[in-house]
Amino acid sequence: MAIEHNTGLKSPVATSGGANEAGAGAGDCTLSSLHDAPIAVEVRLGKARLALRQLLSLRSGDVVTLDTRLGDPAEVLVGDKVVALGEIVQVGEELGIRVIALPGQVEEK
């Protein structure tokens, strides 16, 4: 997943001692030492409730109606926590999400 943003911020760089800003010693566990740890990010477009009978009868081509309207923001989640809201955009041949609201601006549903 590529992230495009327009800030002037850069990742921590090596210092003259060869260690990064977080420290490279065994047992060093700071937040900055986790910056490159992979985290699963999900985007939820909407939700639907189906009876088990409906779920079991789904076939290719069936449409499940979601509780979201066109143009509504999608939720960006880490685990079960909403961390941002965004709008779906096309990035070449793939889909992406443009962040439109961040923590403190996001109201839990």
Task: Copy the structure tokens of residue 49.
Answer: 């409730």
Looking at per-residue pLDDT, the higher value among 45 and 104 belongs to 45
Count Cβ atoms within 10 A of the Cβ of residue 11 and give its class: 0-12 exposed, 13-18 middle, 19 or more buried: exposed
Quickly list H helices, 1-109. 52-56
Q: Which residues make Cβ contacts (< 8 Å) with residue 45, sequence separation at least 6?
A: 66, 68, 74, 88
The pair of three-digit structure tokens given for residue 103, joined into one six-digit string: 């923590």
pLDDT digits (tens, 9 = 90+) for 32-82: 888 899 999 999 999 999 999 999 999 999 999 999 998 899 999 999 999
Question: Which tokens sit at 54?
Answer: 């409906």
Domains of the chain: 39-101 (2.30.330.10)
Q: What is the mean pLDDT of residues 102-106?
A: 74
